[in-house]
A = this chain, B = another copy of it.
Amino acid sequence: MTASDEKRKIRYAVVGLGWISQVAVLPAFANAENAELVALVSDDPTKREDLGKKYQVQKTYSYAEYDRCLDGEVDAVYIGLPNHLHREYTVRAAQAGVHVLCEKPMAVTEQDCEAMIVACQDNNVKLMIAYRLHFEPANMQAVEIVKSGEIGEPRFFSSVFTQQVEAANVRVKKALGGGVLDDMGIYCINAARYLFQDEPVEVFAISASKPESRFQEVAEMHSVILRFPEDRLATFTCSFGAAPVANYQIVGTKGDLRLDPGYDFQGALTHYLTIDGKTQERTFLPTDQFAAELIYFADCILQNKDPEPSGIEGLNDIRIIRALDRAVETGSPVKLGKLEKQQHPSAAQIIERPPIQQPELIHAADPSGKS
């Protein structure tokens, strides 16, 4: 690393100005010392103008102008588009030599994910999937607690992740890559994987939907069972049609750890660690998970390191989600071929630096509404 690298900031374009970009990613640049927001990409001229003004970004582009944005003005893109566009916008960035931080779910199909991985490899750019909880202290501390053996051998995981989503939301549009597993279940699947530090071998799901217009293209909810090696199980229910709940519990031979809430980014997360009938409660104040992602990915680019969560991490979740779709369609459990085992996240990189204070979040849009 040269002296100029040390001072260099990675220039990001934010592509897609929906809810998550507005409420979390754009404000996070204020906390990301090695990252600079230099461009906005959206087809909504009002968003471009208002957000350009708000964040003092001169360069704004429509989707048709994306290639121009990629032409030397940015080092990296954050892709916060509807899921069905992740592949195209990632591949185009890679081909332009621009690094890609892509929101999860990585894409719609396994083929999409593989094409994204190959495009980034071929063009020698970094690819990271934006699993924000890999940068969140309560979750990473949970990984460490499980690894430490404090709860004994982890035996099973159980989780609930739900909210009400309106009919107009992209997340209930099948053609846009919507779906409750893609959008919410992915958190439960990913948590089971990082807590067990392993990949499931067999999956099953049952879906159910009230007869409402918002659930015509995608199911209201899924209840899921995943079988992991060493005879461990994970179950969860995720829903677009229930009051907001976001908790999980991992139960071991000697104790259990519950996070409630466990998946949020706008409030504190709390651990309830129970050993021998005694429960220790520990609250983790909200940190800026998005700034942590931006900083880490910028650092990977500057230091030429391979990011974790990688494209393979994103692909593995999509493989599981699509296998769950097949289980629902066929009414039978689906065995998974051997997944490339991931280097799962560790608390080390978070713990060695103080948590980033979260800025006051602007509730620009309703999470349950149109993005």
- The answer to whether A242 and B251 touch across the interface, beta carbons within 8 angstroms, is yes
When the two chains form their complex, are residues A223 and B235 in contact, meaning their CB atoms are under 8 A apart?
yes
B-chain residues with CB within 8 Å of residue A156 when the two chains form the complex: 208, 221, 223, 237, 239, 242
A170 at the interface (CB under 8 A from B): no
- Per-residue interface assignment for chain A, residues 123 to 146, with 1 indicating a CB less than 8 Å from any chain B CB and 0 otherwise: 000000000000000000000000
Q: Is A220 among interface residues, defined by CB-CB distance under 8 A?
A: yes
Is A252 engaged at the interface, CB distance under 8 Å to the other chain? yes
Q: Which residue of B lies closest to A254 (CB)?
A: B243
Identical copies of this chain, number: 2
Q: Is the CB of A233 within 8 A of B206?
A: yes
The complex places the Cα of A206 from the Cα of B327 at a distance, in Å, of: 14
- Contacting residues, chain B, for A237 (C-beta < 8 A): 156, 158, 233, 235, 251
The stretch of A77-85, A224-232, A350-358 in contact with B is A224-232
Residues 131-179 of A contacting B (Cβ, < 8 Å): 151-153, 155-156, 158, 160, 162, 164
**Contact across chains for B223 and A274 when beta carbons are under 8 A apart:** no
1/0 contact string of A202-234 vs chain B (CB within 8 Å): 101010111000000000110101010011111
Determine whether A256 belongs to the interface, using a CB cutoff of 8 Å to chain B. yes
Q: Is A307 an interface residue (CB 8 A)?
A: no
* Contact status A253-B164, CB under 8 Å: yes
For residue A121, CB closer than 8 A to chain B, the reply is: no
Closest to A244 in B: B277
Q: How far is the CA of A26 from the CA of B242 in the complex (A)?
A: 44
Q: Which residue numbers of A lie inside 8 Å of B, CB to CB?
A: 151-153, 155-156, 158, 160, 162, 164, 202, 204, 206, 208-210, 220-221, 223, 225, 227, 230-237, 239, 241-245, 249, 251-256, 274-275, 277, 331-333
